[in-house]
Amino acid sequence: PTLLIDDESDQASVNTVNPKKIIAKKDGGGSRSRINEHIVEILKLLPRAQYIGYTATPFANVFVNPNDPEDLYPKDFLLSLPRPPGYMGAREFLDFEVPRTGLTNTDAYIREIPKKAENGKTDTSDDRLVEAIDAFVLTGALKKFREKKQGEFKHHTMLVHHSVRTADQKLLVRRVRKLWNAAGYSSPGPAAQRLQGLFENDFRKVWLDRGKSVGFRFPKTYAELRPYLGEALDEIGRESSPVLMVNSAEGGQAPDFDGPQGVWKIIVGGAKLSRGYTIEGLTISYFRRASKMQDTLMQMGRWFGYRSGHSDLVRLYIGRAEGRPPLDLLEAFDRMCRDEEDFRDQLKMYEGKGGLTPRDVPALVFNSHPRLRPTSRNKMFNHKVVWAAFDYREPTSQSATKKGRTHNANLFEKFISTLEIREMEVSTSSPKPATFKTKWADVSQVKMVSLLTAVEWDVPENPIEAALNFLREKKPVDKWLFLAPQIGRGNALPWNVKKHKFKCVERKVASSTRFGVFSSPEHLNFAKWLIGWPDLQCHSPLEPCERTGILLFYPTRERDSKQEAPVMGFGIVLPRTVGEKRIAFSV
C-alpha cells in the first residue's frame, strides 16, 4: 500500500491539454501534461496506492474531467479542513459580519493604496510605501517591548509584492533601500515624528480595540517605546541589508527561517512568494500585484497565517486600482473570500459516513467578480456554468426561423391570454426625459419561469439556461411584472392577442442567429426604478416594489421581412440587491 500526498495539487498536477486537441490528434502525441502524466503512471504501477491532493485553492481540481477514470478528479471525498486556533484568515481581515461596537476588521487591519484624505478625496501621490516601512519599524519595536513579558519573537518580516517581473523587483528593492537609508530612524527628525503619529493614531487605537482584551502589552507613552526602537533597528540591520529580494533569478536572497538568528527583514519578491512559501513573522504586507485568476490572487495572500502574540499589529497595505484596466484588489479579495466561504460551506454535504461524494454530486465553484475567473483557462476545459446570477439579461438569439418563431409566438399568446392586462403612462428623466405608455400585468414566479423555460432558440445551447437555474435554485424574487412598452412610432404591424393590440418594434437582424438589441434605455431605466434600483427618477401609477422581477416584452418584426408572426423579444430585470454578477461553475 502507498499513500501519495500531492501538496499544492492544483498547480502542476492538473492536466492542461485541451481535450479537443486530443480528439483531433493535434496535441503532438500526448494526451496529458507532463506532471499529470507521471502521477497517473505512478498510480498505475501501484494499484493499491491512494492519492490525496492538498491545497488552499482547489478550484482547478474540481474542474478535472470526472469521466476520465485515470485522471485525478477528487471523486471519493473533498473536505475542508477546519481553521486552527490563532490563525488569521479572511474573517479576521474582512467584514463578513459587521461588529456591533468598536473597529471593523478593515478599519483595524487594512490600509488602502493610495491613501484617502479626511475629506474623502484620494491622494494619488502617496503610495504609502514610506508609511508601510515606518509600520514595519514601529511593530518591530512593539515586539521587542512585548518580549519582556510575552516571550521571544524570533522573526519579524514585511512583504513587498508589486510585480512578477524580476526587473521591476530590482527597481523596487533599490527604492526601498533608498527610502530606508534616507529615513534616519536612529535620530530625531521627520521619521521620529511619523513613528509617533502611527503609534498614537493607528496602533494604539487598534490595540485598545483588539489587543488589550487578550493581554497584549502596549507602552503607556511613545517615550516608553523609544528604547526598543534601537533594539529593533539593530535586529533589522544585523548581518545583511534590511531589504532582501526573493525570487528565482540569479542574485535572489532567500532568508533562512530555520537558522538560529531569526529573520528581521523587508522581503521583496514576486512569483516565488506567491505559492507554498511561508514568510515567518509576517506583520506588514504591501501588496499591489493584480491577476485575472482567483486561485492566483488567493495564493498571493501571504498575510493569512498564525500571528501569535501580535495579531493586533498586523497591517495589510493593498492597492485599490492596480493593473490595466485598474483592479480594486481589496474588493477582489473580499468577493473571492466570500466565494470561498460558500465553497467551503457546500463541501459539508460530503461529510459523514455514507454521505454524498463528489462523484455523486460535483462541487460548485463560485465566482462573483466580473473581472476574475476561478483559475487559468487551460484548467477549465471541462467546466460548465450551472447557474449565473444577474441583474439584467436580454437574450438576442431569439428564434427567427419559421418553426421556432411560430412556437414562441403561440407560447407567448397563450401566456398573455391568462394575464389581466392593464395600461399606464409613465415618464423617466434618464437618459433623457421621456414619456411613454406600457401594458403591464402581475405574474407569479412559477408562471414566469415556466414561460422562459419553454422558449425556443436558434442557437444550440439555451442562452438563458444558467439564468433560469439561478431563478429556480436561489429564488431571488417573489413575484414578477410583465411590461410591454408601446412604441409610439414606426410602421410595423401590431400583434394582436385577443382584445389586446401590442405595438411591434422594428429591428435589424445582426446575424443569422441574433438581433442587435430589443430594448430602449428609457424602458430599461423605468423597469429598474420600479424594482428599487437607486439613482433613477421616474413617475408612474405603480410604486417601486421589493423582490420583484420584470419581463420587458418586445414583439419584434424585422425590416423587409414577410414573416407573419413577430419574434418574441424580451429582457429580464432583477433588483440590484440580488442581481450581483455571480456564477456557479462545475463539471
Q: By C-alpha distance, which of 53, 31, 28, 26 is closest to 41?
A: 31
* Sequential DSSP letters for 200-255: IIIIHHHIIIIIGGGT----SSHHHHHHHHHHHHHHHHSSS-SEEEESSSTT----
pLDDT in tens, 46-56: 989 999 999 98
CA distances to 205, 422, 565 from 88, in Å: 19, 57, 62
The percent of residues above 90 in pLDDT, for the chain, comes to: 54
pLDDT in tens, 376-426: 999 999 988 887 877 788 887 666 677 888 899 999 999 999 999 999 999
* Sequential DSSP letters for 278-305: --TTEEEEEE----SBHHHHHHT-TT-E
In this structure, of 62-76, 87-101, 145-159, the range with the lowest mean pLDDT score is 87-101
In this structure, of 257-266, 289-298, 344-353, 370-379, the range with the lowest mean pLDDT score is 344-353
More confident residue, 448 or 27: 448
For the whole prediction, is pTM greater than 0.75?
yes
Q: Give residue 117's pLDDT band: very low, low, confident or very high (50, 70, 90).
A: low
Residue 246 contacts residue 273 (beta carbons within 8 Å)? yes
Q: By C-alpha distance, which of 69, 77, 106, 73 is closest to 91?
A: 106
Give the cell for residue 149: 513579558
Q: What is the mean pLDDT of residues 200-228?
A: 96
List the Cα angle 436/441/443 in 5-degree steps.
140
Where does residue 449 fall: left (phi above 0), alpha (psi -120 to 50 degrees), or beta otherwise?
Answer: alpha
Q: What is the mean pLDDT of residues 147-151?
A: 88
Residue 29 in this model has a pLDDT that exceeds 80: no
pLDDT in tens, 271-315: 787 777 889 999 999 999 999 999 989 988 888 999 999 999 999
Residue 239 in this model has a pLDDT that exceeds 90: no
Residue 539 in this model has a pLDDT that exceeds 60: yes
Contacts 24+ apart (CB under 8 A), 187-195: 191/134, 194/130, 194/131, 194/134, 195/134, 195/137, 195/138, 195/222, 195/229
H or E segment to which residue 557 belongs = strand 548-558
Q: What is the mean pLDDT of residues 441-454?
A: 96
In the chain, domain spans: 2-79+342-363, 101-319, 388-586
